[in-house]
Amino acid sequence: MKNIKLKNDKNLYIREAKVEDSQQLIDYVNSIAGESEFLTFGPGEFGITVEREKDIIKSYIEEKNKIYLVALIDNQIKGSINFSGGGRGRTEHTGEFGISVSREYWGFGIGKELLSYLLEWAKKTKMIRKINLRVRSDNDRGIRLYTNLGFEKEGLITRDFYINGKFYDSIQMGIKID
């Protein structure tokens, strides 16, 4: 758990997701689906039931190489990050994350705080040795954040996203946890 004072004097509280957060997480994801073209889903594409979301959160709680964090302001989810490591011995040390922040809080450092928390957690696990991500190649703010936190560009994936009749490339990035 982490408590941070934002520049707008609001308190940001970061903690692991709980099963009780399921409905609020679904509502949050559905609300941000149309806020950014950089997400891997758009409006109406999430399609997860409360029961399925509860199962997903339980899996994050039970597995030692997974974590699901929520960023709360006034007890409302305004950001999240989830990381899943591989399911077998040969890949359990590495995985990928997804991150999002509600548009009303872009530029307040919530993404940086969530990602910093993830990196701290990964170091403490002594199990996670590599964190990967894919970011659209035109997402300059995201690329700058990841680079500033130590992620390195590792490759280009062409035609990775298809949005409104147009293809977008993504950059594969990673950071070693040693």
Q: What is the CATH number of the domain that holds 98?
A: 3.40.630.30
Q: Do the domain assignments include residue 116?
A: yes
Q: What is the pLDDT of residues 87-136, one digit of tens each?
A: 999 999 999 999 999 999 999 999 999 999 999 999 999 999 999 999 99
151 lies in a domain?
no
**Confidence at 1, pLDDT banded by 50, 70, 90:** confident
Determine the pLDDT at residue 80.
96
In a domain, 154, yes or no: no
Work out how many domains the chain is built from and give that number: 1
Structural domain including 38 reads 2-128
Strand locations in the chain (E) = 2-5, 11-16, 66-73, 76-85, 94-101, 130-136, 152-163, 166-176
- Asked, for residue 62, whether it belongs to a domain, the answer is yes
Contact at 8 Å (CB) between 72 and 21?
no
Residue 110 near residue 4 (C-beta atoms within 8 A): no
| Domain annotation covers residue 70 | yes
Q: Residue 34: what pLDDT?
A: 85
In a domain, 84, yes or no: yes
- pLDDT higher than threshold 90 for residue 47: no
Query: Is the separation of the CB atoms in 68 and 60 below 8 Å?
Result: yes
- Does residue 100 lie within any of the structural domains? yes
Q: Looking at the domain assignment, is residue 117 inside a domain? A: yes
